[in-house]
Structure 1
Amino acid sequence: MKKQINKELIFVLVLGLIAVLTLGIGYRTIIREAAPEPPAAPPEIPSVTPPTATAEKGVKKFASEDEFKKYLQEAQAQAEYFGGFGLGIGGEVMREMMPSMEAPQIMEKAAPAAAPERVSETTVQVSGIDEPDIVKTDGQEIYFASRLTRIVEPMPLMEEAPGISLPKIMLPIRKQGNVNAVKAFPPGELKKDSQIDKFGDLLLSKNTLVIFSESRFYPYFYPYKDQGRSIAGYDVSDAKSPKKKWEIKLDKNTQIAGSRLYKNKIYLVTKNPIAESRPCPIQPLIMEDTPTIIDCKEIYHPTIPIPSDTTFTASIIDPASGKIEKNVSFVGSSASSVLYVSENALYLTYSYNESALKFIADFFKTKTQDIVPASFIQKLEKLSGY
């Protein structure tokens, strides 16, 4: 009975598909016959081959800046070809940043008189892989970033002189945020140990506190002070006197897409918008006034043209020294690329446009071979190739 219902449902879907295709072809024929002849031949439009299921898969590096520009043009042409009637198909861009690693070993139980065997973690997607947050702790000290506050202070009393009027609206005064170190254990000795005049999400690796600062300050907020867009490491072995060890600045066009801490290594992903006139080289990070330059030949891309408006760069950073040990760059979309990190690899998704008709033909070929005639599937495949 169930199989009979499925057959009837498939039959109805097939009839519906045929009806839609017939109406579409008929409509195009009527419009073509009714339309007047153009006064002059339109300019020749270059043909565009849509991505196919048999296209070469994988990623490779650009050979030059010209190849990068051509890739962007092909990706744009693909998007215009489908005109909104395609399906977004996702894929994996890169998984080589994190080498194969064994699962973290479970910590041995400590003696009853010792300190707690573990400390609470902030919310993470994968156990054992830490993510930046405004609060971190090592079991003894709590580090938390206090957010920015706006304080309106009264204006000094002034008398209006003839012909001079004072502003009636007072601008808010924005004071910078900071990171506080609080002694939390034992509870009876709870107190504030120190303060770092920098604000941002935190990662804690052994005795190094890393602050990711992307705050932007605007001059019309007075007093104006720009903390800088950077990643800074502080030695907190003495929580009462934290010392800055290193700082990596972000280029003016660089944003942080995400970061993780795994086995005392920081995995940082940044993104830079692609300038069509000159998409490369890029310099996402600046260490000690020396920019990290990513050449065109070091940037990966999927072999299938995909919507690309951003160059992502994944870097491995030693939190103890701030040294950038390795990086790899690849193109993607700021709107559709999703970051995920596991114990084995770092993943970033991408999407590309696929023909809806090709998708339907593949469905009938793989899922309904025992229900619909083979001749019908062959006709669908032929139609999807037009």
Structure 2
Amino acid sequence: MQRIDRVIDVAEHLGTVLAQVVPFAPESRAVASARGRVLRHPVHADVDVPGFDCSAMDGFAVRDADVAVVPATLRVIADLPAGTELDPRMDAGQAARIMTGAPVPSDATTVVPFEDTARGLAGGLDAVTIVAAPRGPGAHVRRRGSDVRKGALVVDAAVRLTAARLGAIAAAGVGTVSVSRAPRVAVVSTGSELQPAGDALRRGQIPESNSVLLAGLAEEAGAEVVLRTSVGDEGEGPRHAIAAAEAAGADVVVFSGGVSAGAYEVVKNTLGDLMRFESVRMQPGKPQGFGRTPGGILLFGLPGNPVSAAVSFELFVRPALRALEGDADLGGEAVRVALTVGRRARPERVQYVPVRVDRSDPARWTATPTAHGTRGLGDAEGLAVIPPRAHDLVAGDLVTVTLW
């Protein structure tokens, strides 16, 4: 692939990335083990929910005619816990003690809560005195199919399965779902100066942190990290890393460093046949690389600065991972908040500023830029997006913040 250095917009680079994404083939998975995966086909209910008329309260199933005038004393002829198969016949003047979720007898029309009886749960099973009239026919009865009818849509495709969504699917009688597997990611830091964190450092060496950062971001995005390594600034390290990633079954390789305009840009110098290198109108993260191996592995070349790498991951890698899974939502949650301080505008590029978000006033959230560097990145809760503009921002101006 030809190496090209030109300046493009963020949207153009993201479009290039997404155009190369081929979503995974779906696989079947048990509902109990599908949390966090993306649903690939719509789920429709296999049963009515609820599957029968059931009690919404602990109390007594009665006939409306028998409680039209209160107080009314009725003979208790059955005790119905949740899960019972009983459907006792109820004649005039009779009631059945019933628990929440139990089937309501066919002859009953209403459930009277224990609170509306003379002695409540302590009243025994011989007779009950109703002291408050029901609010109307069908009170405290959940009708069959009132939540979901059999065949109705429960969860649409292309959404990530949360615990709540899985609970709704299971309640609808569905035991397996069609989902995407997790993307497999390899993370490769470049730089001869890098040493494992915690090792003794000589002059000119620094702790290697980008692979920890990017692997963590990948895992938080739902991916499986199958390789985390680093290579020097000379030799064919990036090619060897790609080969190792391929052997590990990676779908994506994320390089950090080696993509700028220096003399020792090892990714740019060795992978020009596989990747395209461009300058993107953004700060931080201007130098970007992207490509794809003949076997279909997506290759990302991110800047080596940790903040630049993190911002680039959020803008380009995370959407690609989501697209591989077939997720309809490629971006993070965005909110409009007020800046607490002014900010210099950049007419030629969009700025992505790590910020803390103050939610103490529900009516007016505010965003404060964090300190520069990795410590500030660690304190950040999201990125304030400041489009190119001619005039500087002042405290109180609204900006869009994409939450981590």
TM-score, normalised to structure 2, is: 0.22
TM-score, normalised to structure 1, is: 0.22
Higher relative contact order (CA 8 A, sep 6+): 1
